[in-house]
Amino acid sequence: MIANSKEIVLKVGFEIHQQLLTKTKLFCNCGCIEPENYDSYFFRKLRPAQSELGSYDQASLFEFSKMRTIKYYSSFGSSCLVEADEEPPHRINSDALETALIISLALSSKIVDEINVMRKIVIDGSNTSGFQRTMLISLGGYLDVDNKKVGVQTICLEEDSGKLISDDGNIKEYGLDRLGIPLIEIALEPVTGTPSEIMKIALTLGRLLRASKRVARGIGSIRQDVNISINNGIGVVEVKGVQRLDQLIKVIEYESIRQHGLLLIAEKLKKERLENIIADNVREITDIFINSQSKTVKKILSNTNHTIKAIRVKNFKGFFGYEPYPNIRIGKQLGELVRFYGFGGIFHSDELPNYGITEKEVDKIKEILEIDDKKDGFIIIGGPKERMSVAIDALCKRLEIVKLGVPSETRSALIDGTTIYSRPKPGSARMYPETDVPVYNIKNDLVLSLRKKVPKSWNETITQLSKKYKINKTLSEKIFDSIYFEIFEELSLSTKLAPSFIASKLTEDVINLERQGYESNNLTKEILVDIFKKIDSGQIAKESVFPIFEKLMKKEVTSVESAINLLGIESVSDKELDRILDQIIEDNMSIIKEKEFNSINILMGKSMASLRGKVDGKKINDLINKKLKNIFQSDN
Ligand SMILES: [Zn+2]
């Protein structure tokens, strides 16, 4: 799906949230660790005062009204009374503050004189206190991307939210281990460019952060919120939760097409329908469907609290289903919209009769709504009575602005790079001073002393890495960008293995398998260290790394031992190896006599057939060579 890029001018702003690599949390002494098990839990119902919600719109009030019971899980060591909101926050973690200041310096951002911790209201239950603590560290500055300056707006230090474990519609469950981990939030000025140019900015910023060696790595440790608009449109769409660069580029591409599609729909509508688009006539039509054969309708009506309504949309016939790009249509946007209010979706007139809804039923609806068959369309929506009016209100408002093109809203990024409506764009959240944490004055000599710790440029970092481990620059970049960088450094120091070997296995082999669709999440640190230590001690051959990765990533096994057993690559002792090679030579003596040293390829082939993965190929080659020399020397 490719839009005509000449017709689309993209404008993208980033807000990057990066977890810092500190031993303890931002406002207490708990460790920033993910526990294997939680050892206790408690329940809460969050009730922020109405006045605190301030300028929140109707959608926020709705979200708040459906607030359910929240179950928080905790474990000793990763959360304490501060996370449970039973004890005030302690002083700001000085290590985290130092990192935020160093990154501000690296981006030439102007550091504030005094740091005030603020409370930002959150209403989704992700924080036990009902707000997130955040502090402004610096303003302005820029990021150098291929000699072009991308402006920095603000840099803040804040606490991460609780980790959503599940949400079944009644009880939301959060893990408290992530709550309070320090995050740096960097907001960049919006820039224009192609999706790949924009991805380069995110890559450059990510690399600068990693070059500080003071940030966490791994999936989930960096999250980006991306503001995307096209063609100077007034609608700014905020996409939340982008975790990977390949996902980022897909999200930008998808949004540019979706938004361009909405603009094309608006243009066509303005050209063809001079009258206003109004959703005006709303009627209860549950009775029509009492004996309906439609599975969806039956499911809706199986709940006695549910009702079905139809809405006439004047002058909209043909526009629910019109697709300027595949799958980009107003009908789909409306379906996503009502899901926010807890409905399964909608039916619209351009797709009916269908889904078990008959022509007869459609005719009855048209009659009730007084539809002008030439011009008008309609929507059917079914679900809980008490939420019906707020959902219909949202649908009507959305339809009124179809002619304007792209509405401002918040969307969620899905792994495949598409986005889905998540909520209306909130007004800026109100902030209140956090009176439990004293104001922190930034001293000049602290800032001066931190200048020495500002990370080197990317080029310098890579050159240094390449020299230190004697690996080429491409491999240096790959391993430095990898989530396994710390493991690589540790293994390079603690084993006799060549760093280039470790780096290429941890990058190229893993990427190769990921491209085949396997996930690397069970290549944990323990497992990787285990594999490389076994190679280092000669228990398994270098060749067995890839097949072991493969078994683990295909989830056929969960431990290195069982992968080794399954692959039959238990180690072969030197004595045993000697015996096997002697046997192969004896069996092939006639070929050896005929071809002399040229027989080595045949002998290697036969040896590898039985020893692949168990013994290093080079070692076999050396031994066969030695044995052949012995044969021909003794013959002479
Ligand atoms: Zn704590």
Residue 413 has pLDDT above 80, yes or no: yes
pLDDT in tens, 353-376: 999 999 999 999 999 999 999 999
Q: Is residue 32 part of a domain?
A: yes
Distance CA 580, CA 319 (A): 75
Q: Is residue 251 part of a domain?
A: no
Q: How far is the CA of 90 from the centre of ligand 1 (A)?
A: 9
Q: Are 188 and 151 in contact (CB under 8 A)?
A: yes
Mean pLDDT, range 454-472, rounded to an integer? 91
Looking at residue 1, its pLDDT comes to 47
User: Which of the 8 DSSP states describes residue 181?
Assistant: -
Residues 204 and 148 in one domain: yes
Indicate the pLDDT class of residue 103, thresholds 50, 70 and 90: very high
Residues 78 and 211 in one domain: yes
Residues 160 and 110 in one domain: yes
Q: How far is the CA of 490 from the centre of ligand 1 (A)?
A: 29
Residues 210 and 104 in one domain: yes
Q: Are 540 and 564 in contact (CB under 8 A)?
A: yes
Looking at residue 568, its pLDDT comes to 78
Indicate the pLDDT class of residue 470, thresholds 50, 70 and 90: very high
The two three-digit tokens of residue 158, written as one number: 């804040």
Mean pLDDT, range 260-281, rounded to an integer? 88
Q: How far is the CA of 176 from the centre of ligand 1 (A)?
A: 9
Tell whether omega for the bond before 353 is within 30 degrees of 0, i.e. cis.
yes
Q: What order of strands is seen across the sheet that includes strand 171-175?
A: 40-44, 69-74, 171-175, 163-167
Q: Which of 435, 507, 447 is nearest to 471 (CA)?
A: 507
Instruction: Please give the model's pTM, rounded to 2 decimal places.
Output: 0.80
Residues 38 and 130 in one domain: yes
Residues 301 and 341 in one domain: yes
Q: How far is the CA of 360 from the centre of ligand 1 (A)?
A: 63
Residues 552 and 579 in one domain: no
10 Å Cβ neighbour count for 389?
Answer: 11
Q: Which of 33, 68, 22, 624 is nearest to 342 (CA)?
A: 68
Domain boundary, last residue among 567, 594, 623: 567
Token pair 């669709």 in the structure block, residue:
517
| Domains: count for the chain | 4
Q: How far is the CA of 43 from the centre of ligand 1 (A)?
A: 18
Q: How remote is the C-alpha of 101 from its chain's centroid?
A: 26
CB-based burial, 529-559: b 16+ in 10 Å, e otherwise: bebbbbbeeeebbbbbbbbbbbbbbeeebee
Q: How far is the CA of 76 from the centre of ligand 1 (A)?
A: 9
pLDDT in tens, 559-589: 998 888 888 776 677 888 888 889 998 898 8
Q: How far is the CA of 80 from the centre of ligand 1 (A)?
A: 4
Q: Is residue 498 part of a domain?
A: yes
Residues with Cβ < 8 Å from 498, sequence gap 6 or more?
A: none
Indicate the pLDDT class of residue 149, thresholds 50, 70 and 90: very high
Q: How far is the CA of 88 from the centre of ligand 1 (A)?
A: 10
pLDDT in tens, 503-523: 999 999 999 999 898 988 889
pLDDT in tens, 163-183: 999 987 778 899 999 999 999
Q: How far is the CA of 168 from the centre of ligand 1 (A)?
A: 27
Q: How far is the CA of 463 from the centre of ligand 1 (A)?
A: 40
Token pair 């097409």 in the structure block, residue:
257
CB-based burial, 149-163: b 16+ in 10 Å, e otherwise: ebebbbbbbbbbbbb
Question: What is the domain extent for residue 296?
Answer: 274-404
Q: How far is the CA of 449 from the centre of ligand 1 (A)?
A: 29
Q: Is residue 462 part of a domain?
A: yes
The two three-digit tokens of residue 231, written as one number: 């063609």
Q: Is residue 438 part of a domain?
A: no
Q: Are 224 and 474 in contact (CB under 8 A)?
A: no
Q: Are strands 237-242 and 409-413 parallel, antiparallel or unpaired?
A: parallel
SS3 at position 38:
coil
Distance CA 184, CA 306 (A): 45
Q: Are 277 and 316 in contact (CB under 8 A)?
A: yes
> In 273-427, which residue ranges form alpha helices assigned H by DSSP?
295-301, 330-339, 359-369, 385-400
Task: State how far the alpha carbon of 577 is from the alpha carbons of 88, 404, 549, 620, in Å.
Answer: 66, 76, 25, 8
> In 212-274, which residue ranges form alpha helices assigned H by DSSP?
245-272
Q: Are 7 and 44 in contact (CB under 8 A)?
A: no
pLDDT in tens, 28-75: 999 998 898 999 999 988 665 555 555 555 666 666 666 678 999 999
Question: Which DSSP helix (H) or strand (E) runs through 473?
Answer: helix 473-481
Distance CA 3, CA 254 (A): 9
Distance CA 317, CA 277 (A): 10
Domain boundary, last residue among 567, 596, 613: 567
Q: How far is the CA of 79 from the centre of ligand 1 (A)?
A: 4
SS3 at position 48:
coil
Residue 92 has pLDDT above 50, yes or no: yes
Q: How far is the CA of 86 from the centre of ligand 1 (A)?
A: 10
Q: How far is the CA of 92 from the centre of ligand 1 (A)?
A: 12
Residues 134 and 209 in one domain: yes
- Identify the CATH number of the domain in which residue 342 sits: 3.30.1360.30
Q: Is residue 425 part of a domain?
A: no
Residues 598 and 480 in one domain: no
Q: How far is the CA of 24 from the centre of ligand 1 (A)?
A: 8
Domain boundary, last residue among 521, 546, 567: 567
Q: Is residue 419 part of a domain?
A: no
Q: How remote is the C-alpha of 578 from its chain's centroid?
A: 51
